Amino acid sequence: MPQEVGGISPRGYLGAGITLVLITAIFVTARVIANLRGGNKLRIDDGISVLSVALVAGVVAVGFITVNSLNAPMVTPDYYAYALQRTQALNWISGLSIWCSKAPVLFLFINLFGIRTSIRVASYTVMIILAIAVLAAAGTTSARCKLNSDGLTPELFQHCSTTAATAGVALGLVSVLADVVILILPIHVVWQLNLSRHKKVGLVVIFASGILAIVSSAVAVNYKWRAEKGSHVNLKESLIGVILENCIATIVGSVPSTYAFWQQIFLKTGLCTRLRAALFSPQRPDSAHKLYGNGGRPCTSTSSEQYVRRKSTDASSVEDVIVSYDHHDTLPLPSRAWSSHSITLLDDVVRK
């Protein structure tokens, strides 16, 4: 009878999975709100990010059902039949979640640096290759796990498990390579920007957050490789690796819009001022209490402060600084709505 020994408990797996999904959902929600407020419409990568969260939640749910089934008191023919169905479902959901988690990052590169043909071609190529790998891995597993005229046999179940493990390793390797490309793709472009060295390093650090995705992808592949070789692998820990990989990739693609949400929406709300007042409660004169309320420091600057800041940064706006590769080669932004939100994070680094 299949049974897992050791590792985290099923409840621990479920708690970790739900936590990761909720954190990712917060970033994606902020992304959607920021883009709706900025351009009054959603782009295709926003929809893909939402779908990514839903698919990762599906991985958590199907994985939890599978983990619980491993402790079944009795193995019956129905057990193996349901196991085949879960294997197919888990392969399709996890495979699609891998693609949906990485595609928004590549769309971000296309929107920011798409004027460079190499960036645009490389981004679309990675998305196409990854999509082919997902379809091949999930399709092969489904074909191998399909019931035939002989019915449910131990050989069929064994072949299904072996095929799923091999396909998982192959897809995992492609995923790691995609993460590596995503990491190094913008570095060359950023280094050609007409910026000082410390500003270039700051931009590289922003995109280098994808290193976390590479590490989580490598860990997930390691679990799949050990399972394919017949080593004892805890399924719960393997699934956590896949979930973590997809959540990190989705968050990385949502960081610029999330930063825009924080700066342009949340900090301008009364909630931010009340939170600051509750947490810090600075002592201010009566005039300050009347102006800011409850002695709290305002989350946003006054109109005069904003005017001075705007005047001081007019000469180095993001359109004139961050997107110029050479003194004569300027990268046009796709739209004013996009430049006001998704590029805010890069603009902030430049101005510092």
pLDDT at 169: 84
- Is 189 in the same domain as 279? no
Give mean pLDDT, residues 269-275. 67
Tally of domains within the chain: 2
- Is 216 in the same domain as 286? no
Within-domain flag for 2? no
Within-domain flag for 235? yes
Residue 16 has pLDDT above 60, yes or no: yes
Within-domain flag for 55? yes
Predicted confidence band at 345 (pLDDT cuts at 50, 70, 90)?
A: very low
Yes or no: say if 346 and 203 are a contact pair by the CB < 8 Å rule.
Answer: yes
- pTM higher than 0.75 for the full model? no
Within-domain flag for 4? no
**CA 281 – CA 271 distance, rounded (Å):** 14
Give mean pLDDT, residues 157-168. 80
- Is 305 in the same domain as 176? no
| Residue 223 vs residues 90, 217, 220: alpha-carbon distances, Å | 16, 10, 5
- Is 232 in the same domain as 278? no
Over residues 55-111, the pLDDT tens digits come to: 999 999 998 888 777 666 556 666 777 777 887 888 899 899 999 999 988 888 888
Six-digit token string for 31: 């992304």
- Is 245 in the same domain as 325? no
pLDDT at 310: 41
Over residues 41-55, the pLDDT tens digits come to: 788 888 899 999 999
Yes or no: say if 101 and 247 are a contact pair by the CB < 8 Å rule.
Answer: yes
Return the ∠ at Cα 79 (arms to 77 and 85), rounded to 5°. Answer: 110
| DSSP assigned state of 326 | S
- Is 143 in the same domain as 208? yes
Residue 265 has pLDDT above 80, yes or no: no
**Cα radius of gyration rounded to whole Å, the chain:** 24
Ranges 7-21, 147-161, 201-215: which has the least confidence? 201-215
Q: Which of 208, 209, 237 minimizes the C-alpha distance to 222?
A: 237
- Number of residues assigned to the chain: 352
**Owning domain of residue 102:** 10-254
Over residues 183-201, the pLDDT tens digits come to: 888 777 777 766 666 666 6
Residue 133 has pLDDT above 90, yes or no: yes
